[in-house]
Structures are given as structure tokens and as C-alpha cells.
Amino acid sequence: MEKSEFRKNAADMIYLTACAINNKKPKQERIDSLDLPKLFEVCQKHILTACVAYALESAGVKDNDFTQAKEKAIRKNILLDAERRTILRKLEAEKIWYMPLKGSLLHDWYPKLGMRQMADNDILVDSDKMAEVRDIFLDKGYICEHFGKGNHDVYFKKPVLNFEMHSGLFNPTHIGNLYPYFKDVKNRLIHDDGCDYGYHFSHEDFFLFMMAHEYKHFSGGGTGVRSLVDTYIFLRKFKDSLDWDYLNAELDKLGIADFERNNRELAIRVFSMQPLSFEDKKLLDYYVMSETYGNIDNLVKNGVKNRGNGSKLRYLLYRFFPPISFLEGSVPWVKKSKLLIPAAYLYRFFRGATVNRKKVGNEFKQLGKQ
């Protein structure tokens, strides 16, 4: 799809999403101008298909693709919620502390079931018990797709059950102050009533983590429009009860105060259907063209800016010879001994030249265009 077409259909997606989450019927003249197949394609790239389906149905539009996507989203949410409760009971029985993260809670604050489509369930658990957590999932018939690398392990069971079990919220490879700020997060969690090992964030700390998580993506490959919807949904529910003095002080510590303010103000203006300034439109376009999981263009541009201090050469040196903190996050076995550092650099080089050859090639091709 041409970029101009993508942007036009993204504007329709944003309008219909705003209608859905605010329980407003879309204007008929806007409905009459829709290109449903192209709108569906854009919605899929931003994981807002089910949300838009609700808006279309409120205007009397029944489209098979949108209807099926909504029904699948509802089914998956129900299945993930039920399975998460089962997993949490097993963690309780094994005396492993845990905390469900972001989407597991956010989807309940959307107006209707399935509006917030779920790719997986994320749960923070005791980092000393990751092997025991793996045993729980293997005993339940899951496939372990990823273990012991980075800050989360990945489990899948057909047809739609995906879990990411986090040993930490961030790792040293992530930008800025995110990792040190959230490193000892257990100390700031609140114990759940009615269980021995369950925890949750205060509303303020939930918001801080949500913003930090979005900033991680925004400053990397980019992040899509759904992150703005999440911000709007959270603020609509909790904004007036939040301790903003605490939040502003902590956002400064995280180094993301400007990002949070811009994100918050844009989300409110977009989904309250307020007029947008030129700067608003420019920022919104970044979200639109990033899609949900970002793109290589943003990744390289932001890498040169944030990792290379504006220099492509410095960025290249960073990519070939990242700092030890980054190395420990991407090659965990290097933590065993400093003598393994040279081997870790060689491992990264050969892995990039073989397993990740296409990805690395695209990155350097994009770097040449900068």
C-alpha cells in the first residue's frame, strides 16, 4: 500500500477507534468514504481491528473480516484470562511471587470485551525461580520457545496461548535509565489481598512502567497507535486520582518526562477528537508509520541519534563493540567470567553473519541511506 493510502486509512482507523472507545456512532459521511479492505489491512498492522469492528457495527456496517477479527479477539481474551488464572494458582502453589503486567490489566479498562486485542500474557515472576516456572509450563503441555536469554522466557500452546514470563522489567540493553530504575522493582510492589504471592503496582507505578515500556519501543523501532489508545484509556480512568507530584519527580529520574508529556497530551487530543497542531500531526504520523512493532528505518535513525550521538561511525562501533552491560543482556553467559568477553563479541559477530544475516543486512543497508 502506498504511504498516502496508508495514512488516509490510518486516519479512518483513528477516527473509528475514538468513536468506539467513547461510545459514539461514526458519522455517515465518514462511513460512506471507507475502503474496508485497506482499512482492515491498516488496522491489522496496529492491532486495532476489533476496536474498529465495534465502531463499524454501531454504524450498521457488517464486514466479515472485521467481524471475524473481533470474535477471535474476544475468544482469545477469554482463553488467556482463564489460563492466566490457572497459571497464577500454580505459582501460588509453588510459592513463587508474581505480578501480571500491562495488557493483562489494561484490557479490562476498555469499554467492551475484545477491544484491546491480546497477543500474549506478560507476568513478572521471581527471577530466582525461572527453572521452576518453566517446569510449570512444560507440565501443562506448553512449548518453551525462549529460555534464559534477556529478561523474559516465552511459552506457547496451541491454538492461541502465549505467555511471556519476565525475570525483570528491563535489561541492560535498553536505553537510558529504564533498567537501573526498575532493577529492584519488587521493593515497590503492593501485596495482593487474598493470596500469598501475588503483587501489583500502585496506579502511579503502573503508569510509570507503562510509559517506560512505550518509551523503550518509541526510541527504538517505534510504536503504534494502540500505545496512544492505552494511554488514553488509563488516563480516562485514573488521571484525576494520580499523585502527579510523585509522577513528575519519578519521570525526571527515568529521563522520560518530555516523552510522557508529549505522549499524554497527544493521546488526549487525538481520542477526545480535539484539533491537532502541526507538531501533533507530525508526532502522530510517527506512531502511524511505525505500526505496532516498529520498523528498521526508525531503529537505525534512533540508534544513530541515541547510541551514536548523531554519528554513524560511533553507531557502527556501538553495534560491533557494545558496552559490557549491553553484552551481558544479549549474551547472558558472558556474566560467568570477564575472560569470556572476547568470545562473546565473536559470538555476536558470527551470529549476526549467519542466523541474523538478513536482519543485520537490512540494518546496514538502512544506515547507508541516513
Q: Name the strands in the sheet holding 98-100, side by side, starting at the edge strand that comes first in the sequence.
A: 98-100, 121-125, 161-166, 152-157, 143-146
Mean pLDDT of the chain: 93
Q: Residue 352 pLDDT more than 80?
A: no
Contact 210, 230 (CB under 8 A): yes
Per the DSSP assignment, residues forming a β-bridge with 200 are 190
CATH number (3.30.460.40, 3.40.50.1980, 1.10.1200.10, 3.90.25.10) of 77-294 reads: 3.30.460.40
For residue 249, the one-letter residue type is A
Domain ranges for the chain, please list them.
Answer: 1-62, 77-294, 299-369
How would residue 370 be classed by pLDDT, with cut points 50, 70 and 90?
low
**Once rounded to an integer, what is the mean pLDDT over residues 130-151?**
94
Rounded to the nearest 10°, the torsion over CA 333, 209, 228, 17 is 100
pTM: 0.92
SS3 148: coil
For 24-68, how does the pLDDT look when each residue is reduced to its tens digit (9 = 90+)? 999 999 999 999 999 999 999 999 999 999 999 999 999 999 999
d(CA 272, CA 284): 14
Note the pLDDT of residue 329.
Answer: 72
How many angstroms separate the most distant Cα atoms in the chain? Answer: 68
SS3 220: coil
Q: Residue 245 pLDDT more than 80?
A: yes
CA distances from 255 to 251, 258, 266, 275, 355 (A): 6, 8, 19, 29, 35
